[in-house]
Chain A
Amino acid sequence: MNYNSVELAWLIRRYAIEMTHISHGSHIGSVLSVADIIAVLYSGEANIEASNVDNDVVILSKGHAGAALYVALAFKGFFEKKYLLTHYANGSFLSGHVSHKNVPGIDVSTGSLGHGLPIACGIAFSNKRDNTNKKIFVIIGDGECDEGSNWEAALVAYKFQLNNLIVIIDRNKMASLDFTENSMPLEPLADKWRSFNWNVIEVDGHNHIELKKAINRAKQNKTSFPTVIIASTIKGKGVKFMENNILWHYRFPHDGDEYENAVKELDACMPETLDGITDF
């Protein structure tokens, strides 16, 4: 079953609300901000199918948004949807931060920020050497850009001309305690990547058309330089009372108004084609 990006984005949001509500897990704000990016990748922009062995690589370096990835993978048929509601549960393989152990479709475990990009560089380098057509996608957070290891990797990606590497930054302008520009000013972020000799594309991270255009440009990259797509997003996007509110980095939608209002808002914009699809 193949879902288009709008459908997949809705599924990610709706299931994430359900998953965090049940599990009392954190990071709903981060999941909501990255939902469109993941949806676009897993609805065709990344060459990924459950039945393939030669898939593109997607590394969710901001591993705390794992719920988004789990939903996308389940709806792409990598594992049964019933496992989604075991996120965070005792004995579950669906850990709070993405884990590759026993989860089909996930190649790299993350959770500590700044690890994904160096690993991606190693994978990209190897694929370039072996002349494969694979693209290596890494999704990093903007707060995550504080970590020095990213910049070490940025230097090396240029050195090895990793033009099969595509970084997407979920630029929701928030970290976990404060807005990024208060905790660790990142602007001018695009200029920083440019100065590291990267191709930089800036898009609205909730606009699927812009995201797809940018990803396509990046996939056709014939320059020697790797590409970073800086996707402007809103933490908590899709549920009005969660948007741009640092509280929702941690807080899960509690029983009552929080959960009900979130569900009401999302159900109101459910794509018709998905009628009856949720099992809750």
Chain B
Amino acid sequence: MRNTFFTELHYGISKSKDIYFLTGDLGFGLINDIEHDFPDNILNMGIAEQNMMGFAAGLALTGKKVFAYSIGNFSTIRCLEQIRNDICYHDADVKIVCVGGGYTYGQLGMSHHATEDISIMRAIPNLEIFAPCDDIECKAIMDYLFLKKGPAYLRLERNTPSLHSDNINFSVGRLYYLKKNINSKTLIISYGSIVSEAIKANEICDNIADVASCPTIKPLNSDYVAGFIQKYKNIICVEENNKCGGLNSFIAQCIATHNLHIQLSVIAINDFYSSIVGDQNYLRNASGISCDHIVKELKRINENK
């Protein structure tokens, strides 16, 4: 997914010299092509994220499109006020990019676990938020970001297998089925690479549920989502993010405000810091958001019928 981002970025810059890529001194081994072909469009801003985001806003105010990049929480929480006041309030055409959503950098410790960013960024007005599950979604979102002016947050992971079998017809705020049965009463909804865990768990349970990817975290139209989910009796919402304030919170709000008769199973991080380390898979297991946990929930739902 990281590679797709850089490939698309390279292509975008080749079409417009007004696109700038700012990095907080990161991207080793990934930016070589851009550096070689478009050295004027890549700016190493050093390890100074607050300045990077303010600078990005300034650059955007003069009519440029900016991708401002770092890993983990460094492009978000580290410089949140700059994102809010300088980028979002000024409607600046800055795409904030994080590589390392969730436990992508699990072994590096809690400072590198981006596990609250979705909650926090959701609460910032005038910010679109995208979390693709695979390269196909990533490319589609990048195509959109090149066209659309305005603040956006793109949460990427490292390298992820393709989950969609074909290119998608991307629209902001749409949900995409990855598995659709004729009359499933259970829907698993998720975003980011953890969607693969949902698909795996569902397969283990004989594909008893539908699975949908939700690559747009914001804006999500509550009426549209309510219409999408209303036929289900159970929804399992899986996210590699704190249970407070992420997609689960949106779904819960949607169900409640539309008075839907749906039970929501929250599969998310239980509001804690992981002081143990491990790879993404290991930490998903340790945090209760892995394939095994989804399987358990699917079985519980099935038994309660």
**A contact residues around B51 at 8 Å (CB):** 118, 121, 149, 152-153, 155-156
How far is it, in angstroms, between the C-alpha of A17 and the C-alpha of B40 when the chains are bound? 49
A100 within 8 A of B: yes
Using C-beta atoms within 8 Å of the partner chain, give the interface range for chain B. Answer: 20 to 34
Q: Is A120 an interface residue (CB 8 A)?
A: yes
Q: How far is the CB of A223 from chain B (nearest CB, A)?
A: 21
Contacting residues, chain B, for A77 (C-beta < 8 A): none
A112 within 8 A of B: yes
Q: Tell me the interface secondary structure of chain B in the complex.
A: helix
Q: Which of B78-86, B142-150, B189-197, B242-250 is the contact stretch?
A: B78-86
Q: How far is the CA of A119 from the CA of B60 in the complex (A)?
A: 10
- The segment out of B6-14, B42-50, B100-108 that lies at the interface is B42-50
Give the segment of A81-89, A103-111, A249-257, A268-276 that binds chain B. A103-111
Partner of B85, one of A111, A123, A124: A111
Contact B58 A120 (CB under 8 A): yes
Does chain A have a CB within 8 A of B275? no
Structural contact, B81 and A119, CB atoms closer than 8 A: no
Residue interface bits B244-282, CB-to-A below 8 A is 1, else 0: 000000000000000000000000000000000000000
Q: Which of A119, A130, A152, A155 contacts B86 (CB 8 A)?
A: A119
Chain B positions 51-68 with a Cβ under 8 Å from a chain A Cβ: 51-64
Partner of B64, one of A117, A119, A126: A126
Q: Looking at the assembled complex, report how far the CB atom of A65 sits from the nearest CB atom of chain B, in whole angstroms.
A: 17
Q: How far is the CA of A122 from the CA of B63 in the complex (A)?
A: 11
Q: Does B224 contact A (CB under 8 A)?
A: no
A119 engages B48 (CB within 8 Å): no
Q: Is A115 an interface residue (CB 8 A)?
A: yes
| A100 / chain B contacts, CB cutoff of 8 Å | 90
- In the assembled complex, the Cα of A155 lies from the Cα of B85 at a distance in Å of 22
Q: Find chain A residues with CB under 8 A from B82 CB.
A: 115, 118, 149
Give every chain B residue within 8 A of A124 (Cβ-Cβ).
Answer: 58
CB of B61 within 8 A of CB of A108, answer: yes
> Closest 6 interchain pairs by CB?
A122-B58, A118-B54, A152-B51, A152-B48, A126-B62, A122-B55
